[in-house]
Amino acid sequence: MSNYHIKHLEEYYQVYRKSVRNPEVFWEEIAEEHFLWRKKWDKVLSWDFKKPKVKWFEGAELNITENCIDRHLYTRGDKTAIIFEPNNKEDEAEHITYKQLHERVCRFANVLLDKGIKKGDRVCIYLPMIPELAIATLACARIGAIHSVVFAGFSSTALATRINDSECKMVITSDGSYRGPKTIDLKGIVDEALEDCTTIESVLVAKRINSDVQMKADRDYWLQPLLDDAYSDCVPEIMKAEDPLFILYTSGSTGKPKGMVHTTAGYMVYTAYTFKNVFQYTENDVYWCTADIGWITGHSYIVYGPLCNGATTVMFEGVPSYPDFGRFWEIVEKHKVNQFYTAPTAIRALAKEGIDHLEKHNLSSIKVLGTVGEPINEEAWHWYDDNVGKKKAPIVDTWWQTETGGIMISPIAFATPTKPTYATLPFIGVQPALMDEKGTEIKGNQVDGRLCIKFPWPSMARTIWGNHQRYKETYFSAYDNMYFTGDGALRDEVGYYRITGRVDDVIIVSGHNLGTAPIEDAINEHPAVAESAIVGFPHDVKGNALYGYVTLKETGESRNHDNLRKEINQLITEQIGPIAKLNKIQFTNGLPKTRSGKIMRRILRKIACNETDQLGDTSTLLNPEVVQDIMDNVL
Ligand code: PRX
């Protein structure tokens, strides 16, 4: 018997030891007993972090949707797979059974085939959190098309960049979306993006808000009539273990977004296994992850991980504050949610509203609470524990990344004793290492360093789409033979990990990864701007907010600074999306630079964080005089 379901701490340690002593035997057992394969693998793992090249279950053949849907049809056909909770509270929730999901995915897959999409083609999905989003994703996987889901809060420029980078053939979108009291013109955004894209042959449009949209002849098609006409069964494409399943873009500290490529078999095995254990999902539980499927959390822990386990997974279209801050708790009560997984930024926003909203609802169904996306501060952790979990529901603080595909460091609910702000222990098979700046591993406990992973795990991204060299440089060059996460971490006296935050120029705002470079590029496009630098500073709800230092060109004309601030944020909204807007913009006479001309963000960060007593020696700067000037005018 394999160790598919771990229930106790001793069992965790025992299985963990097995997984690192003999990873191949361990993962082979898990894969063999709990998944549906069309052909077994020839080799469980081959790897070389120098190239870097990693292959799991090579030679195996499968289709992930058979694992997520078909295999449940006999045992769970009438069980709810997806509960869709709409934006408007008055609208009825939709319960989609596994049988219905099968039919809807098959119909959608047939529409894709009919529109000329083949195995290996890239399909961009730009949809709100409506059932079609999950269904379109699975339909791509059904026929072996590579989905690239783009979060529907991104701007047309950001969408176009992503479509072009992976040369998508199709976009799936909707007429518009609801977001709390607002509607957003998604189709208009797509139309704008497509002015700069040459590879798109067709656009499928789901009706959501019934708005008037322009439909371009021979390119744009309403989805529903096509689905109605499509055949309700679709033979799954048989995929090789290492065939790409999807591309998902994430921000880097420099350059354009990185299209992380995830492959089929390893991703499936790892997301399913982590889901089962971290959340201790048991049959008939209702599980709700509040993330958007546009992010990795939604891919792995709304769609693939839960469905692979035959779970009931909730998809919520709206926002936590609409119609009021009681919405999450109302949904928990209504659907009797057992596992609730959200982000620290949401917890802080809800905590700010007090507990009146919570007290109006019966939350007794909650068994496990989860958090992800950024470090959770102690106050938010306790608020969550005391008021939502009533001190009875363990909090799983799950640390992982778009690149890791699945949860890497986290408690296993009920097995691992939790500790506020700690992600605790490595998950089964994960071998973390803390490194010093010279590249030596820091052994022992009560230490801190840069977090790396020493050994491959099944769901790691295999490359960056179209740029393997960048993949190597970003993740495998900082330390010899290790995957570098970009995060700092400390290890306490019992070996628990606490993630301390990014050590590069990525800033996490409301749980969203934002690279400083693309934002600075957007600002620098303003005709009045000479140069700019972005840093993060602490924010009580967002975790971090963005502080921009902007130097203007010397044109002689004086510009209204408030207008300029608006224009700069407008540019950022257009180029990236509203999530990247700056909270503060300070106009400066110059930016502190090293003698080689590199902007010293460390100094700017200290100033923005009001830590000017820790500036250190600034005399070696090229232009030390600007530092005082910036400090005198700080916002
Ligand atoms: O800095 C870490 C932070 O989020 C980064 C990854 O972001 P992304 O690829 O968008 O994926 C987020 C969802 C998996 C990490 O490098 N992060 C994520 N989870 C945690 C975290 N920081 C602290 N604690 C966490 N639980």
Domains, the chain, in order of start with CATH, read 2-489 (3.40.50.12780), 510-632 (3.30.300.30)
Q: What is the mean pLDDT of residues 386-393?
A: 97
Query: 159-163, 253-257, 390-394, 470-474: which range is least confident on average?
Result: 253-257
| Confidence check: pLDDT of 89 > 60 | yes
pLDDT of residue 254: 73
**SS3 at position 281:** coil
Q: 614: pLDDT confidence band, cut at 50, 70 and 90?
A: confident
Maximum pairwise Cα distance, the chain = 77
Minimal-distance CA residue to ligand 1 atom 8: 401
**What is the pLDDT averaged over residues 379-393?**
97
Rounded Cα distance, 201 and 291, in Å? 30
What's CA 6's distance to the chain center, in Å? 26
Q: Which of 395, 460, 499, 502 to mutate to test the pocket of ligand 1 (most atoms within 8 A of CB)?
A: 499
Q: Which of 508, 509, 514, 544 to mutate to test the pocket of ligand 1 (most atoms within 8 A of CB)?
A: 508
486 lines ligand 1 (CB under 6 A): yes
Whether the predicted pLDDT of 515 surpasses 60 = yes
The response to whether residue 297 sits with its C-beta less than 6 Å from ligand 1 reads yes
CA 138 to chain CA mean position, Å: 18
Q: How confident is the model at residue 618 (pLDDT cuts 50, 70, 90)?
A: confident
Beta pairing class for 177-179 and 258-263: unpaired
Q: What is residue 478's predicted lDDT score, i.e. its pLDDT?
A: 95
What percent of the chain is modeled with pLDDT above 90? Answer: 89
Q: How buried is 146 (Cβ within 10 angstroms: 0-12 exposed, 13-18 middle, 19+ buried)?
A: buried
**pLDDT, average across residues 472-478:** 97
For the chain, report the end-to-end CA distance as a whole number of angstroms.
Answer: 62
Q: Is residue 492 a contact partner of residue 498, using CB atoms and an 8 Å limit?
A: yes
Of 250, 262, 378, 399, the one to substitute when testing ligand 1's pocket (max ligand atoms within 8 A of C-beta) is 399
CB of 604 closer than 6 angstroms to any ligand 1 atom: no
pLDDT at position 194 over 60:
yes
Mutate to test the pocket of ligand 1, among 249, 372, 421 (most ligand atoms within 8 A of CB): 372
Q: Which two tokens stand for residue 268?
A: 């499936």
Give the pLDDT of residue 616.
79
The predicted model gives 96-112 an average pLDDT of: 98
Other beta carbons within 10 Å of 225: 10
Would you state the pLDDT for residue 387?
97
Alpha-carbon dihedral 234, 240, 245, 247, rounded to 10 degrees: -140
259 or 354, higher pLDDT: 259
C-alpha of residue 373 to centroid of ligand 1, in Å? 4
Atom number of ligand 1 nearest to Cα 501: 1
Name which residue leads in pLDDT, 456 or 624: 456
Query: How far is residue 356's CA from residue 454's CA, in Å, rounded to a whole number?
Result: 47
* Ligand 1 site, residue 250, Cβ cutoff 6 A: yes
The mean pLDDT value of the chain amounts to: 95
Q: How confident is the model at residue 351, as a pLDDT?
A: 94
Residue 272 has pLDDT above 70, yes or no: yes
Distance 113 CA to ligand 1 centre (A): 36
Cβ contacts of 569 within 8 Å, gap of 6 or more: 581, 582, 585
- State the DSSP code for 302: I
How high is the pLDDT of residue 600? 86
**Over pLDDT 70: what percentage of the chain?**
99
Mean pLDDT along residues 503-511: 90
- Compute the average pLDDT of residues 309-313: 98
pLDDT at 601: 87
According to the model, what pLDDT value does residue 1 have?
A: 56
- Which pLDDT tens digit goes with each residue over 276-287? 999 999 999 999
Rounded to whole angstroms, the Cα distance separating 294 from 133 reads 9
d(CA 289, CA 27): 26
Whether the per-residue pLDDT at 613 is higher than 90: the answer is: no
Lowest-confidence segment of 93-97, 142-146, 248-252 by average pLDDT: 248-252
Query: Is 402 touching ligand 1 by the criterion CB < 6 Å?
Result: yes
pLDDT of res. 366: 98
The full length of the chain comes to 635
- For residues 211 and 175, is the Cβ–Cβ distance under 8 A? yes
CB atoms within 10 A of CB 354: 11
Taking CA atoms only, the protein residue closest to ligand 1 atom 15 is: 401
Mean pLDDT to the nearest integer, 121-133 = 98
Residue with the larger pLDDT of the pair 51 and 598: 51
Do 471 and 483 contact (CB within 8 A), yes or no?
no
| Nearest-CA residue for atom 14 of ligand 1 | 401
**CA-to-CA distance for 635 and 632, rounded, in angstroms?**
9
Identify the residue whose C-alpha is closest to ligand 1 atom 18.
373
The DSSP-derived string for 401-420 is -TTT-S--B-PPTTTSPP-T
CB distance 487 to ligand 1 below 6 Å: yes
Q: Token pair for residue 500?
A: 């301390």
pLDDT of 410 > 60? The answer is: yes
Query: What is the rounded radius of gyration, in angstroms, for the C-alpha atoms of the chain?
Result: 24
